[in-house]
Chain A
Amino acid sequence: ELKVEQNPLFLSMQEGKNYTIYCNYSTTSDRLYWYRQDPGKSLESLFVLLSNGAVKQEGRLMASLDTKARLSTLHITAAVHDLSATYFCAGSTSGTYKYIFGTGTRLKVLA
């Protein structure tokens, strides 16, 4: 059964700094997703990573996937306050759309 773990669970950082959120998963996952959630809101899709070595970037966020290590990372460059949110990674079981979510990383960017 697929299990997804994230770390850290909570991250407080200064504006302008860089940091990486890690997402480990236990068994083969077809693809790896990153979502953002603001308080009381639903999930906003950030990235879909399909293959080993995949790297996607959008603004100050960059996601990568290493299927051999069963690891995905979400790198934040020069953080700004607007990036404060909870970030979830999720994997999907082969052949299905069942998403298994990580624990989430609550990011707070301090001005």
Chain B
Amino acid sequence: GAVVSQHPSWVICKSGTSVKIECRSLDFQATTMFWYRQFPKQSLMLMATSNEGSKATYEQGVEKDKFLINHASLTLSTLTVTSAHPEDSSFYICSATEGFLGSAFLDEKLFFGSGTQLSVL
């Protein structure tokens, strides 16, 4: 299956600093990638949809100025948590699909990165 690589897997930073997380599709081109966050023992909450070459679409309640998303190429999307605070500590997971809207491959699915555990002190 398709591989999505996410880095770093774990980061600790001081409050007020910014952290960048990378998500790469290794063997396919991903027009669209998704960013989720997950608090301990909770479900995954969609934060935003990252579209190559255009602005990301954020879910309601997600601050776009705090969580900057850049999707500069078909294989790379980045999430930057700006001026991180302890409440931003969470597990962040990206995902990508090799399918596209209108695709004949109806069983295409999202492939998930390995996740990034962010701890803000």
Q: Which residues of A contact B (CB under 8 A)?
A: 31, 33, 35, 40-43, 45, 48, 50, 88, 95-104, 106
Contact = CB atoms under 8 A, between A and B. Distances in A.
Contacts, number: 57
A1 to B, nearest CB: 10
18 contacts: A33-B109, A33-B110, A41-B114, A42-B6, A42-B93, A42-B113, A42-B115, A50-B106, A88-B44, A95-B101, A97-B32, A97-B34, A97-B99, A97-B101, A99-B34, A99-B46, A101-B43, A103-B42
Which of B34, B42, B44 neighbours the largest number of chain A CB atoms within 10 Å of its CB? B44
A96 B43 CA distance: 20
A40 B9 CA distance: 10
A43 B42 contact: no
A80 B30 CA distance: 37
Contacts of A97: 32, 34, 49, 97, 99, 101, 110
Contact of A88 (B43, B109, B113, B115): B43
B25 to A, nearest CB: 13
Contacts of B112: 35, 42-43, 45
Nearest to B114: A42
Contacts of B95: 99
Given A98-B34, A99-B46, A100-B46, A106 B113 contact: no
B28 interface: no
B14 to A, nearest CB: 23
Given A33-B109, A97-B99, A101-B36, 7 more contacts: A42-B6, A45-B1, A45-B109, A95-B101, A97-B34, A98-B34, A99-B44
Contacts of A98: 34, 46, 49
